[in-house]
Amino acid sequence: MMTPQHSLPDPALLTERFEARRGTVAVIGLGYVGLPLLLAFGQAGFEVIGYDIAPEKAERLMRGDCYIQHIDSAPLRPLLDTGRLKATARMADLAGADAAIICVPTPLTAQREPDLSYIEKTAAALEPYLKPGQLVVLESTTWPGTTMEVMRPILERGGLVAGRDVFLAYSPEREDPGNARYSTRNIPKVVGGDGEAATAMAAALYRQAIGDVVPVSSTQVAEAVKLTENIFRSVNIALVNELKVVYSRMGIDVWEVINAAKTKPFGYMPFYPGPGLGGHCIPIDPFYLTWKAREFNVNTRFIELAGEINSQMPGYVVGVLQNALNDHAGVALRGSRVLLLGMAYKKNVDDVRESPAFALLSLMEERGAVVDYHDPHVPEIPPTREHAQYSGRRSVGLTEQTLTGYTAVLICTDHDAVDYGLLEGYSGLIVDTRNVMAGRHSRGTIVAA
């Protein structure tokens, strides 16, 4: 390793530069996390460069076309007109950026172990273009220690030393797609750096675009914050999913129980059951901690049990559907025509990552059902690593004629754009996993699942 020949950067001056909103911010990975972050820094007055390995994303952004449904494209045009935004598929275009923020996927392998290949490849591609004084922030969800143990050694290959020549930090993404109340700019931002100077620098940068910044003592603490948030949700969702199964056997409506329980003003927080977990966080993130915990000879039994319960929910739902067809329609699941309502993992978005709809679709077809889907936000199923066989399948229309042709409708995602009145009037059997049909009076039968 060669010793770099340059004067050492002054962290205080770099922090002041961010506070003055001078310089260029590069965002690597222009998906559900990176794109809104890019726009937030652009709107705050920074020069911004967005990088993605998919050239079509960069091309669309440069035309002022936002490719993510729930993100408003209106802020793009002023940034393009003033020349403050550039999108590219060439890593070399990031040379000279004052800050580089990495927002790449961190999936699981087929063996349910962390796949850090996107972080590793991104760091290796970025390293030749680092400059002294640059801030590099990782936002991808991962196990505590990744920034220092995985990313830092790769970035230091060219001779620049973290904490002296370049500065590293971790700031967990907290995006909630489709949430009208909270967006990138008003969700508090946790920031932990490799030392006090890196923390101060990263906090100064984020404060310019985000209202509330919460500094913590290290990158490891910041990494643990993200996992803690999503494990909390996973465990509590598993609890209400288990309660749903128990109360159903007792003839008790779990939704009525939850609605009554949440009137307690202390000591209780409502979580809601469903057909299984979806999205890029909750089904995946807990396994990052269980994997890392094994290094310390710790068994995370509580976390793993929650994952087991949540992963069993699609099977439970298909079992409810099977019984409902037998009891109320007098037919078997095999040979029945079923309309799956919703492919997205949550309401009012077009994101299908880890959606329980895939497991439902697979289980129903394995048991001989003929299945179509309707989703106003997902007109066509995009390519996915785990469910490539469904790529290109298209949403069917929701009309009187189509509904009367199905033996049952299985509600997986409760989009607001769906005409539930049509379901009431023209569906013979509705199996509802989201309680969206509560209080409605259908000509057929509504079964909670």
Would you please indicate which residues are annotated as catalytic (active-site) residues? 281
Entry field: residues in the chain: 449
In the numeric block, which tokens belong to residue 114?
């962390």
In the numeric block, which tokens belong to residue 75?
């802020």
Q: Are 444 and 427 in contact (CB under 8 A)?
A: yes
- SS3 call for 328: helix
Angle at 324 between CA 319 and CA 329, to 5 degrees: 140
Supply the Cα-derived Rg of the chain in whole angstroms. 24
Point out which residues pair with 338 in neighbouring strands: 371, 408
Angstrom distance (rounded) from CA 14 to CA 22: 10
Q: Which residues contact 306 (CB under 8 A, 6 or more apart)?
A: 231, 234, 235, 237, 238, 239, 286
Q: Which residue has the tokens 């509600």?
A: 411
Angstrom distance (rounded) from CA 197 to CA 134: 12
Q: CA quadruple 378, 382, 384, 388: dihedral positive or negative?
A: positive
Angstrom distance (rounded) from CA 383 to CA 386: 9
Angstrom distance (rounded) from CA 364 to CA 356: 12
